[in-house]
Structure 1
Amino acid sequence: MSLPSCFEDVARLEDVMSTPSPGLVADLQRVAGDLMVLGVGGKMGPTLARMARRAAPGKRVIGVARFSEPGLREQLQAHGVECIAADLLSREALARLPDVPNIVYMAGRKFGSTGSEWLTWAMNAHVPALVAERFPRSRIVAFSTACVYPFVGVDTQGAKEDVPPTAPPGEYANSCVARERMFEHFSHAYDTPGRLIRLSYAIDMRYGVLHDVARKVIAREPIDLAMGYANVIWQGEANDWTLRSLAHCTAPTSPLNLSGPKIRIRDVAVALGQRLGIAPVLTGAEAPTAWLIDSSEAYRLFGPPQVTLDTMLDWTADWVQRGGKSLGKPTHYEARDGKY
């Protein structure tokens, strides 16, 4: 993989994040039929859909969302992604969607959950049931989250897929367990092949754990170390591995952890501070536990991550220092109570 030293603008960033690997091209050749991305309007959806189109130019790639963001639909269409506006909470809208053999499910709700828990459960549990019932004969690779796991010791490599997702903190995390259970139920009922992608913190220059820490360093804001460790992965690789998972589905569906090795927030803050020429303001003490996952099964399937932490730190420091665009969507990685 040939990587740039920095990203001069958003167009270049999104071009790199949507560049498929040879492994993805080969895997999608082995997967018959067209592809539909449900919830394409989120943070990762647009570059994932573009990557699928570039990796498999002979397939239809369909993006489904409400398209409330101005210009997104036109942008995706310019890259060859067919767009359908639909509310996934509507059975009637789902019924009108085309039958396709391959689905990447990206819909969900996290931020704003506190105070609107009812909507979070509807999006994270009810919609997956509607989708799984509507597409019983499709491969369904569904985004989940590392938040379904309990906290584990920071001296470990993290939770593996066989750790039961029992009693994670907060309603959001529990609604994500329900999302998985809905896909599992219908997969068992209809023998639907799939994967549940337990993603931990994809890194884009415009958001993510490294972006959050870098912005706090520049603003001289305190960086809470209580959640002292996390897993991160370059979003381009997260897109790539998610799409490759279509060639590695199981029936019934099964979880797959997806992220990079664990990082220490203290070390990241110091490293970014050195690149930015600013001493970070650190506060608090590291707890003995954190949300950490072991992605060794993904590495077995796809190989280890190719974009290193040092590269992501270089990119992040350059982007933030130059005043690059921010999505204004903090990850709240430091939250230990599960409230978002």
Structure 2
Amino acid sequence: MSDSKMPAWANVGLLPLLNVTLAFAVSALVFMFIGIDPVEAAEVMIYGALGYEEGIGYTLFYATNFIFTGLCVALAFSAGLFNIGGEGQAYIGGLGVGLACLALDSALPFWALLPITMLSGMVFGALWALIPGYLQAYRGSHIVITTIMFNFIASSLMVYLMVNVLKLDGQMAPVSRVFEQSAQLPFMHEIMGWFGITIEESPLNLAFIIALLTGFFLWVLLWHTRWGFAIRAMGSNPTAARYGGIDPKKLTVIVMLISGAMAGLVGINEVQGYSGQIKLDFVAGYGFTGIAVALMGRGHPVGIILASILFGLLFQGGAELAFEYPELDRNIVVVVQALVILFCGALEYMLKPYLEKFFAAVSSSKKQTAEA
């Protein structure tokens, strides 16, 4: 049965909501199995993520990274490309942000440095996505394989650079020097302080606003430009798009460049915003979680932002849960995330046929009533 049997709002909003509800129901059974009251666990997670200002700040901080990587994956999905290299693209993008800060933090003020660091992160992320995009378009190499390989290459490259090039002499930890204060993004509590508003300190910073603007950019690109039409056409029917005059090879490379650039902006939040220096493993799986975010958000920027906040809630709430229940393995939160991914991804169509039948029956009933 086609999607025409189900309203767009149900496909975009109701179906993901039902999938998430089902995932949480199964998660409750898991908690009961290990001897923890699922209601109490849910209360701890919700309070830890949304119950106080610092918790909200952490939730939105994590959500910022998921927005960038979710948008990266969603753009590629729109073109029929499965870019699962957001992890590596975010890693190399963060390197670009960090190198720009290290080179210019003592020479430029913040307002002049920020555009350069953003551009550097985007360029580094885009270039890391360029080679898989080129190989897919002109050599027939599958994008899934190449992007996975480049994730591991990015990890190895970062280890080499941090240990042998960027680490300070006489220091054991593989981290760069701390950036000058003028290079670091202002935190949200500092920004609110400029307007006389006092909120608790948290890692949430200006990158959250940049992430929202990036989502707006993707919405404009996909649904209000000729390029966006070409991207969606290629994703829906490559053969028809080719007959319509769209060059799939050129467009594949362009899409991967933009996709990698958006993933590269993770470095703005993690490197220039939170850490104030380059560290190993700052991506922390954000690129892979972005796949689930894009699936849950149905490839739409608004849905991706909401899904990112949900995963931010799981990250922060899970940390609070592990603190309240020391005997609880921290990986139980990973299990909950996996269930959300499972029901919103692999098992998405388990409920979809029933929803389609329901709305088809409602439509048929209305039609019969109108005819009578």
What band does the TM-score fall into relative to the shorter chain? under 0.3
Q: Using CA pairs below 8 Å that are at least 6 residues apart, which structure has the higher relative contact order?
A: 2
TM superposition score normalised by structure 1 = 0.28
- Give 1 or 2: higher strand fraction: 1
Question: Counting helix residues as a fraction of each chain, which structure ranks higher?
Answer: 2
